[in-house]
Chains A and B, each alone.
Chain A
Amino acid sequence: MRDSWDSLPVLAQDLIIAGALLLPLLVIGGILLRGFRPLPLVRALMWRFRWANLLFVLLIAVSTGMGIGLIAQERGLRTGSAQAAEKFDLVVTAPGSELTMMLAAVFLQPSAVPLLDGAAYDRIANHPQVQIAAPIAFGDSHDGAPVVGTIAEFVTYLSDGQIEGRIFARSGEAVVGAAIDLRIGDRFTPAHGRGSGADAEAHDGVGIEVVGRMARSGSPWDRAILIPVETVWEVHGLANGHPFEDGDRIGPPFTPELFPGTPAVIVHAGELWANYALRSEFTVAGETMAFFPGTVLADLYRVMGDVRQAMSVMSIVTQVLVAASVLLGLFILTRLFQRQLAMLRALGAPRRFVMAVVWGYGVTLLVAGTMLGLAFGYAAALVLSRIVTHRTDVLVTATITWAEVNLALGFLSAMSVLSLVPALVVLTRPVVENLRQ
């Protein structure tokens, strides 16, 4: 049983779950409606109470949409941020908060971070298991976009080699992210600092030429300008990591004594399994700290998950309250229609028909509300994703999965069972009493 279920394709499983959730609704509908045509009367009820109905549909839609949007958004944020951090196996920084360091080094959020010195970098770069040890030097910006100093190898690694134009080959050249509004051949002068405090004149006279553009990655690096780390140092009047005899050479190896410092080093190990050893090796009390951005994110997701859980509970409570008020509303509205319904019985309509009308009316509202709710949820997730993507450049895509659809269907089905209550209540009062009004 278990095995044959597991062997089914995921879509088939989802469809089966959806079917099972809808089963109560379909069974009740089948039993109540068989042989009858309550639709004209349901329509009459819909029209008679149109404003109240609209309100009910919106209430159901908003409460359903809230829950769905929340789940979809959180999942989008998880996958988006995980993808954005994918290339960053191991980050080495000065000791401090892993979260702050990760936000600065991986998500390029502006923050003041202490530097690692040349000796520390040298130790990392020369480790036999380390394939790439990329210094990441940030602090400057252009037009709001961070200007990040690093090495050519890292740019190639980051973009999977998908670069239009070419990689920077000497100091004063730049490769831009896909979202940067500069073309190949353009020149710009970086501003000192980022955001509103940036000083546009500090680096006057410095001209950097764009020579390449990376393919879109869905990470904040799409809005980054990458230049040789040497350029960053030179612009700030520091040594550039190389002795004069080396001329204009850029990239590693660097001379430790001439290495002005870097806030972070991104490490890519030759073999995946080496990462754990490297992390402990590069974690030196009081000197360096090494961490996996993936682990930091996982911790963050756990917190997000808790928040989501709390919000989910609230949204379920909301949904239950909405359900209760809709049922109460149905109850009151059908009371207003009670004489007509009694007249149906007087004309010889079976009880089941009257139930079919009342239930059909309730379920029409529920189905409309739920469908609209799915649309609302999707729209909400879409808008939120846009906002997050715009603010952070972490590409967040909103998707509605079967989990959300099934959540909504479960709610719908449960409510359709509860809608039998007003339908039954209508039948409890004797026909004659209702006719007398």
Chain B
Amino acid sequence: MALPLEIKDLEVRAGTRTLLKVGDLSAPAGALIGIRGPSGAGKSTFLHALSGLIEVRGRLCWGEVDLARLRPERRTAFRAHNMGLIFQDFLLFEELSPQANAGLSGLFRTRHDRAPIATRAAEGLARLGVPQGNRTVGSFSGGERQRVAIARALATDPGLLLADEPTASLDRRAADALIEDLTGLLRAGGKTLIAVSHDAHLLERLDRVLTIEDGKVTDDTGVQAA
């Protein structure tokens, strides 16, 4: 189930340095949001904050849950049940088949969750047109790998998908095809996407684009594509 986002006075610090400061920000469930900005601006940091991977101050609520007030292991559990993550360099297990990679979460989830995860992984792979069979992903192209990573992120049926430069390692054609399939899949499932990207082709397909500069949200084109 997708959850609405509500942020108030969010602050991320490293030692004495403030990496990120976001005053007010909210988004409805099911919004597709892009984040852009220069290198070192704090985009990845924002994504890490949203996924509960780092400590934050202020309020960072997904629905009723304020990640700023949860202990790390509780945030991990929240992530396991509500979020899918996608990385620029996929981070797959090269030695495993696409199905094993996509169903990875089943390895540490309860017995009860395992079968549905495996089923959704297989469905996701099929929908994204990933080559089937026992080939390991070590021999896959970049585009194919990122599709496996997306199937992995969606196998737990999360409401939120967080992506850091999902198309940056792909060539134009592969990136465009992926953007098409990804946004289609997310809209069909009513899922929320927050994607850090420089890819104009991706950003123009989203509902809203935030610009982060020097640790602050400097632009919010929330109305642009709505």
Residues on A lying within 8 angstroms of B by beta carbon are: 35-38, 40-41, 43-44, 47-48, 339-340, 343-351, 353, 430-432, 435-436
Contacts and interface: CB of A to CB of B under 8 A. Distances in A.
A47 to B, nearest CB: 5
A346 B51 contact: yes
A424 to B, nearest CB: 16
Q: Is the contact region of chain A dominated by helix, strand, or loop, or is it mixed?
A: helix
Interface stretch (B24-32, B87-95, B170-178, B214-222): B87-95
B162 to A, nearest CB: 9
B118 to A, nearest CB: 11
Interface stretch (B78-86, B183-191, B192-200, B205-213): B78-86
Interface of B: 44, 48, 51, 53-54, 73, 76-81, 83-85, 87, 91, 93-96, 100, 104-108, 110-111, 152-153, 156
B76 A44 contact: no
A43, A48, A339, A349: residue with the most chain B Cβ atoms closer than 10 Å:
A349
A431 B73 CA distance: 12
B76 A350 contact: yes
A47 B136 CA distance: 12
A435 B111 CA distance: 28
Given A35-B111, A38-B107, A340-B91, A346 B96 contact: no
Given A47-B95, A432-B54, A350 B108 contact: yes
A340 B100 CA distance: 14
A155 B148 CA distance: 82
B49 to A, nearest CB: 10
The residue among B73, B78, B84, B108 with the most chain A CB atoms within 10 A of its own CB is B108
A344 B104 contact: yes
Given A348-B76, A432-B54, A37 B107 contact: yes
B85 A346 contact: yes
Contacts of A349: 76, 80, 105, 107-108
14 contacts: A43-B95, A339-B91, A344-B104, A346-B51, A347-B80, A347-B84, A348-B83, A350-B73, A350-B76, A351-B76, A353-B107, A432-B54, A435-B53, A435-B87
A40 B100 contact: yes
A9 B91 CA distance: 55
The 4 closest A-B pairs by CB, nearest first: A348-B80, A44-B95, A353-B108, A343-B91
Contacts of A343: 85, 87, 91
